[in-house]
């Protein structure tokens, strides 16, 4: 069997709506409770608690030692000359946003499934987990030509249209896609309310420290989880040989018998991971890593273990 389609969850190149719906049972094993839970990152781990459910702005008051500096009210601080922080009222339901990248670099896979398919499955699992806990679920799904937007609403009223969008090709919704994750995330930053939980599903291709103003805006008042999805071939060069390669305009040969080619291949991926880890640390966000050849549900469950249990390292 072709390893690309050797998937226990159906066709690895397409997203099937019925299979996204079937993931509801598996999602009940996931715990995204807002307190006392952590997301695990690999290599030392950047851990923090969820901040709570959706928050509605209440008032500003003078800063007190121990206040979260991320809640600084800079306008009032500038006006009065004294540091102030924003206070929020907790809502009954927490808004959960899913930003799902299904652009060109995500439509790739050599083992089990395309990265875009893994992103859809992971998004569906976390959406079901949130909806079953009473949270409001919404999302933004985008590629290079179109985008689908759904603001968070209660229960399956928001979830099912999102799952349908993830399973349709071409993507439904409005004309005008986004050329990069950053462009889509900047749009999302205008929609997200304080206290939201935001998941970003992507391979983060081309991301760099100089182009992440959107991450600072999202993480200032909300909990942000970067779900990094990659194929094993991206992490390690294929065995030494000559491989035909092509894009829309050119064809050529890739010589992985050349040690410099293999080393450069592996080092580029390691550098990409290091950038993501540094961004997660500096912006106090979480980083979860999913491989296309590993079970999505089990990997997410391992990364969502409570603080009192064993924290899983993702590979």
Whether 86 and 159 map to the same domain: the answer is no
Q: Is 215 exposed, middle or buried (0-12, 13-18, 19+ CB in 10 A)?
A: buried
* Per-residue pLDDT reduced to its tens digit, 210-229: 889 999 999 998 999 999 99
Tokens of 229: 């999805």
298 pLDDT more than 70: yes
Asked if the model's pLDDT at residue 46 lies above 50, the reply is no
CA distance 131 to 165: 17
User: How many residues appear in the chain?
Assistant: 315
> Are 120 and 266 in a shared domain?
yes
Helix (H, G, I), strand (E, B) or coil at 224: strand
Domain extent, residue 169, equals 3-54+94-303
DSSP, res 143: -
Residue 46 and residue 61 in one domain: no
Mark whether 25 and 123 lie in a shared domain: yes
Domain stop point among 90, 114, 135: 90
pLDDT tens digits, 243-297 = 998 877 899 999 999 999 999 999 999 999 999 999 999 998 999 999 999 999 9
Q: Is the domain of 85 the same as that of 213? A: no
Residues 73 and 184 in one domain: no
Which residue's entry shows tokens 């409001």?
136
Please give the structure tokens belonging to residue 179. 């050329």
CA torsion 13-19-25-27 (nearest 10°) is: 40
Domain of 116, CATH number, reads 3.40.50.410
Specify if 141 maps to a domain.
Answer: yes
Query: Are residues 134 and 174 located together in one domain of the fold?
Result: yes
Q: Is residue 312 part of a domain?
A: no
The pLDDT value recorded for residue 94 is 82
Mean pLDDT of all residues in 25-45: 55
Q: Which of 90, 106, 138 is the last residue of a domain?
A: 90
Q: Supply φ then ψ for residue 242, to 5 degrees.
A: -100, 125
Residues 106 and 74 reside in one and the same domain: no
Q: Domain check: are 112 and 255 in the same one?
A: yes
In a domain, 16, yes or no: yes
Q: Based on the domain organization, do 235 and 144 belong to the same domain?
A: yes
What rounded mean pLDDT belongs to the chain?
83
Give, as one character, the DSSP assignment of residue 203. Answer: -
Strand 242-246 to strand 197-202: parallel, antiparallel, or no bridges (unpaired)?
A: unpaired
- Identify whether residues 164 and 242 lie together within a single domain: yes
Tell me, yes or no, whether 229 and 173 share the same domain.
yes
Residue 24, class by beta-carbon neighbours within 10 Å (0-12 exposed, 13-18 middle, 19+ buried)? middle
Residue 117 has pLDDT above 90, yes or no: yes
């Amino acid at each position: 069997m072709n390893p690309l389609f050797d998937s226990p969850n159906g066709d690895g190149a397409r997203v099937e709506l019925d299979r996204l719906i079937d993931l509801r049972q598996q999602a009940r094993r996931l715990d995204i409770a807002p307190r006392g839970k952590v997301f695990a990152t690999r290599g030392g781990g950047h851990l923090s608690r969820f901040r709570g459910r959706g928050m509605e702005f209440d008032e500003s008051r003078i800063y007190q030692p121990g206040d979260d500096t991320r809640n600084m009210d800079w306008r009032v601080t500038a006006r009065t000359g004294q540091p102030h922080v924003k206070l929020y009222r907790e809502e009954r339901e927490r808004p959960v946003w899913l930003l799902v990248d299904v652009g060109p670099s995500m439509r790739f896979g050599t083992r089990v499934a395309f990265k875009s398919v893994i992103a859809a499955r992971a998004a569906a699992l976390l959406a079901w987990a949130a909806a079953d806990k009473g949270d409001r679920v919404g999302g933004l799904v985008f590629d290079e030509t179109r985008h689908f937007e759904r603001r968070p609403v209660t229960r399956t009223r928001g979830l099912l249209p999102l799952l349908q969008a993830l399973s349709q090709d071409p993507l439904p919704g409005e004309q005008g896609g986004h050329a990069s994750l950053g462009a889509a995330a900047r749009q999302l930053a205008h929609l997200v309310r304080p206290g939201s939980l935001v998941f970003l599903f992507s391979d983060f291709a081309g991301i760099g420290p100089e182009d992440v103003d959107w991450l600072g805006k999202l993480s200032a008042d909300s909990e942000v989880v970067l779900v990094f999805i990659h194929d094993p071939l991206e992490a390690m060069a294929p065995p030494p040989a000559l491989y035909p390669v092509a894009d829309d305009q050119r064809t050529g040969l890739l010589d992985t018998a050349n040690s410099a080619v293999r080393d450069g291949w592996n080092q580029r991926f390691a550098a990409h991971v290091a950038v993501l880890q540094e961004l997660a640390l500096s912006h106090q966000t979480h980083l979860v890593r999913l491989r296309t050849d590993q079970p999505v549900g089990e990997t997410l469950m391992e990364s969502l273990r409570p603080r009192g249990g064993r924290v899983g390292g993702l590979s």
